[in-house]
A = this chain, B = another copy of it.
């Protein structure tokens, strides 16, 4: 589900402008605007303060809960302004996050206070006799609800903007926005921002009101993409302390992660700092892991600069580093607060790297979406030539698919297993080639064709599915067959890797194009395909 198919809920503290912004946003998007408090008042036949007086807060919350549930069921997508306490309840927040796009409007406490002083009516929880008392009540209310206000798919800092400008900002963001809900405490968005990474990063950081901010990148990426991002963050008042990693897979280890943590500690980082990771998989995995460890987890923003990072690695909350030869043996699930995907950042990648990234996009199509696969078949020559518009579309659709799978299975229990299509043989080949012969995408390309052949041998995968898959991968310039020199080694790695799971391997195979399933197969069955060629 993407942002465009859903209701938009405006959430945030009292006095932040949810109603005014909501009305402007509805006009901008040509949607109906609904104000939850107004609906509750209409149904109750009295004002919100009168409901509080007559029924207490529990009575009001009950009315609010059923009113919101009823609205969420309506078919026509609307813009709905919530009350300042609507989503404090975790169960209702969970429903809202799964059924709608939740946009959080935020402002510094003193800004909210100033707005409430100007318009103090109808807010029973902060209504007080004196300004001092109102300020104390507001402070206590904001503190007790801080965890609830920190959750939403998209956060907007409203301090310096007029309502119409806020509405415009939200409308622009939503144009390429994929919401991702992990739990009632953890939701964010993947921002498709072609050509606009720097501004998106700055906006996203500003909306987190960080004490200090940091940017981790590597030397190669820094030379290409660092300046505009730092400039935009600085303009937003959040000039980052920049940490440059040496780069390269050998540097993806716990010492690099510790060096980031040391830099954080020695540059005033605290629990309210934000870290931006700008780079390929080594940078986002390592920096994300450092963010997970520092003070038991600080907020971070992922900005992948490679196609493979955009379509796969940066989405799903996996962070980590290698332990000697064990890839990603150390790590954490630590979701970023936003993923900024700007396909134009990949223009500096080598054609081989872009092709490798596309292998993961083809995988998404093959396991989930046959029409996306057909699109690959139609546009394969343009993609092979790295046509920017085609790359952007491949990235966009892959993001939607990966996000959907992660949302439905955040803990990687069962559904998410199908994302491993092509990866069992792929990993064996990468290991056999000591991570030098093939890129990850190339190994997965060979692995997918092998998996299709295993599926065919099992009678699960139709002939033409095997052929179409191999044809697209070949046309993209990707390898589809293991070189003879690596086959024996790959098979023995496959066996070693799986020995603890018993004699059978749980293997992802295609039932038809766009639909994957898992089957238990013996190593011999996989080995036959690999060794048979």
Q: Using CB atoms and an 8 Å cutoff, list the residues of chain A in contact with chain B.
A: 90-91, 94-95, 143-144, 146-147, 183-185, 211, 254, 258, 261-262, 265, 268, 270, 292-297, 318-320, 323-324, 326, 328-333, 411, 413-414, 500
Contacts and interface: CB of A to CB of B under 8 A. Distances in A.
Contact of A147 (B94, B294, B413): B413
Contacts of A147: 411, 413-414
A261 B183 contact: no
A293 B329 CA distance: 8
B294 A330 contact: yes
B94 A330 contact: no
A226 B123 CA distance: 60
Nearest to A332: B296
Given A94-B91, A323-B261, A500-B268, A330 B411 contact: no
A297 B333 contact: yes
B414 A144 contact: yes
Contacts of A143: 414
A413 B330 contact: no
Given A146-B413, A414-B144, A329 B500 contact: no
Q: Which 8 A-B pairs have the closest CB atoms?
A: A147-B413, A296-B331, A293-B330, A296-B333, A144-B414, A143-B414, A265-B326, A91-B91
A320 to B, nearest CB: 6
10 contacts: A147-B411, A185-B411, A254-B254, A261-B323, A261-B329, A262-B323, A265-B323, A293-B330, A296-B328, A297-B332
A323 B293 CA distance: 11
A527 B408 CA distance: 53
Given A91-B94, A270-B500, A500-B211, A329 B294 contact: yes
Contacts of A329: 261, 265, 294-295
A22 to B, nearest CB: 27
Nearest to A144: B414
Interface centre among A211, A326, A329, A331 (most CB of B within 10 A): A329
Contacts of A144: 414
A323 B265 CA distance: 9
A207 B146 CA distance: 37
A292 B296 CA distance: 11
A287 to B, nearest CB: 14
Contacts of A297: 332-333
A454 to B, nearest CB: 19
Contacts of A258: 254, 323, 330
Contact of A296 (B270, B295, B320, B414): B320
Contacts of A295: 329, 331
Nearest to A331: B296
Nearest to A268: B500
B332 A332 contact: yes
B185 A293 contact: no
A36 to B, nearest CB: 21
B183 A185 contact: yes
Contacts of A262: 323-324
A377 B4 CA distance: 63
Contacts of A323: 258, 261-262, 265
Given A265-B326, A296-B328, 9 more contacts: A91-B95, A143-B414, A147-B413, A183-B185, A185-B411, A261-B323, A293-B332, A297-B333, A332-B332
A328 B293 CA distance: 10
A271 to B, nearest CB: 9
Contact of A261 (B294, B330, B333, B500): B330
A259 to B, nearest CB: 11
Contacts of A184: 183
A349 to B, nearest CB: 27
A319 B296 CA distance: 8
A431 to B, nearest CB: 15
A258 B258 CA distance: 11
Nearest to A329: B265
Contacts of A294: 329-330
Contacts of A330: 258, 261, 293-294
A296 B323 CA distance: 12
Nearest to A262: B323
A90 B93 CA distance: 13
A504 to B, nearest CB: 12
A143 B520 CA distance: 13
A323 B264 CA distance: 11
Contacts of A183: 183-185
A341 to B, nearest CB: 23
Contacts of A270: 500
Contacts of A320: 296
Nearest to A296: B331
A103 B94 CA distance: 25
Nearest to A415: B144
A410 to B, nearest CB: 9
A519 to B, nearest CB: 11
